[in-house]
Chains A and B, each alone.
Chain A
């Protein structure tokens, strides 16, 4: 028979100061734990949402990213002619693209002269038809064949001098900002788009050479057919991925790094919190040696006492867990940026505090409670009742 829960609750209330310290320690660990997971989740979502499951990403075989890939005009024609690629009255929905990395002054640290890398994407005329998650939020789309650029909304917020109407020198050529893009939280929000045919020569890239091609599929199921067609064509030496898979893979390294660092920080803080809970409960058990021995003398088994002490620890950790996730909630939607290891450019993204992460936070807290509660509980029941009563 278990002791009533009111006993555990009242015991915690009676020692509210030390209980509060333990709760604060657990809450801090949980908040950091959830924040790190939300950071990794936000980064992953930003990159994954950059791709569309209806698009194929075509790169040179063996290329790890767009940066080290190449597609020439003849190869682009093969892609555009593939029947698996969607087309409309204006032709195939394919955007042949190049990327260059440009250092621009950061808006927040302009006084210090700090700069960060921004990815400039040279696009084809059908880019907005292929990347259908992107829309012009302010101003207008660039005119093909002109030195105009449109900037992602995060890029505009992060870098100085990207307001519509401003002029930015890229590769020595002045480009005028004519609009702001909304990429729906994707990595496109951190990019600058220019016409590939104008951007390439500005960086001394040979005409007719691109780095990747984004192609809208005629239907989602035709990816395998397109892959089969292009990889078996003797004119092609390319790999074909679903765009979402490409970006998911691109997020792995940074996501892994964030998670590893997050796990390390959360583990260190977690150990501290467990020590706090252990300390609270060890002293609680020592202070209550008389009452715990009496409870056992009255006929409650060791199991009942053990459960009561672990219940106290779990109550502490549950409260700490809830406070911790509540503290992490305001981070949801907060934007930050980091370096994308694949392109060496900065990607802005928002923390994503999702319900499953909140659940994980509470589970982490309960795990800390269990680890912190069991040793004192075992100590309390290991002493024979007669010895415990005699020692009082």
Chain B
């Protein structure tokens, strides 16, 4: 079960030890994260809650390899990603991380099919294999009949489902969801949470979700709180 505060070595899928992140703004040092220790096991659905500016998104960025910590080590499946160069981190992200953003972040000029296909272009797959995997991912999120639609032709909930299909199509090691229901009405938000639950329960996916919404957090197996850079 996911836990915080452990300092001993761990076999967890995601393991953070002594992770800190500082920014410099003018002459002032901002300590966004302080000595974060976190373990998340394979197949868990973990929610991170906290007020704005508490460091939730920063923590997600560090785990997702979008940023590097000022101190500490992050291991994913035993590999220390904190020692990877920027270009190797880019390659690592393509293979191991599926991102779901609050504003969906779909490419507006591409169809749902091409949006979902994007991560697969980075993998050694034939066109036929890509087509099959995109169709499967869109079927999982219930949008296989909308694959030729552009994002503007889809509702918010449907766009987020396309984003989830894009996140899972490459069969990544884990999913990082940054406020995935933050821009959706309650009905659509529930659909997205059902989907994430389904991915964890039926497909064994590991999901880390940042949210402000207690109802969303309640759907996770474990919820951690982040306040002033400290995780509890």
Contacts and interface: CB of A to CB of B under 8 A. Distances in A.
Interface in A347-364: none
Interface stretch (A225-233, A297-305, A317-325): A297-305
A294 B109 contact: no
Q: Which of A3, A6, A298, A389 lies at the interface centre, i.e. has the most chain B CB atoms within 10 A of its CB?
A: A298
B87 A301 contact: yes
Contacts of B95: 299
Interface string B49-86: 00000000110010010110000000000000000000
Q: Which of A7, A11, A301, A386 lies at the interface centre, i.e. has the most chain B CB atoms within 10 A of its CB?
A: A386
A385 interface: yes
Contact of A290 (B93, B105, B121): B105
A294 B91 contact: no
B175 to A, nearest CB: 13
Contacts of A301: 87, 90-91
A290 B66 CA distance: 14
Given A298-B119, A389-B66, A291 B94 contact: no
Given A4-B114, A301-B90, A390-B57, A10 B122 contact: no
Contact of A291 (B87, B99, B108): B108
B108 A385 contact: no
Contact of B114 (A6, A11, A386): A6
A291 B114 contact: no
B6 interface: no
Contacts of A384: 67
Nearest to A12: B109
Interface in B8-53: none
Interface residues of A, number: 25
Contact of B109 (A14, A296, A390): A14
Interface in A373-392: 384-386, 389-390, 392
B61 A386 contact: yes
A298 B109 contact: no
Interface in A1-44: 1, 3-4, 6-7, 10-11, 13-14
B118 interface: yes
Contacts of B218: none
A4 B109 CA distance: 12
A343 B61 CA distance: 76
A6 B114 CA distance: 10
A389 B107 CA distance: 14
B174 interface: no
Contact of A297 (B58, B87, B93, B110): B93
B57 A299 contact: no
A6 B110 contact: yes
A295 interface: yes
Contacts of B140: none
A205 B122 CA distance: 85
Given A4-B121, A14-B108, A389-B61, A294 B101 contact: yes
Contacts of B108: 14, 291
A7 B106 CA distance: 12
A4 B90 CA distance: 18
A299 B66 CA distance: 10
Contact of B66 (A11, A291, A297): A297
B4 interface: no
Nearest to B178: A389
A386 B107 contact: no
Given A298-B122, A298-B166, A385-B66, 9 more contacts: A6-B110, A7-B109, A7-B114, A294-B105, A295-B118, A299-B93, A300-B94, A301-B91, A386-B61
21 contacts: A1-B121, A3-B121, A6-B114, A7-B107, A7-B109, A7-B110, A10-B109, A14-B108, A290-B105, A294-B99, A296-B90, A297-B64, A298-B93, A298-B94, A298-B118, A298-B119, A299-B90, A300-B122, A384-B67, A389-B101, A390-B57
Interface pairs A-B: 3 shortest CB-CB: A299-B94, A10-B109, A386-B67
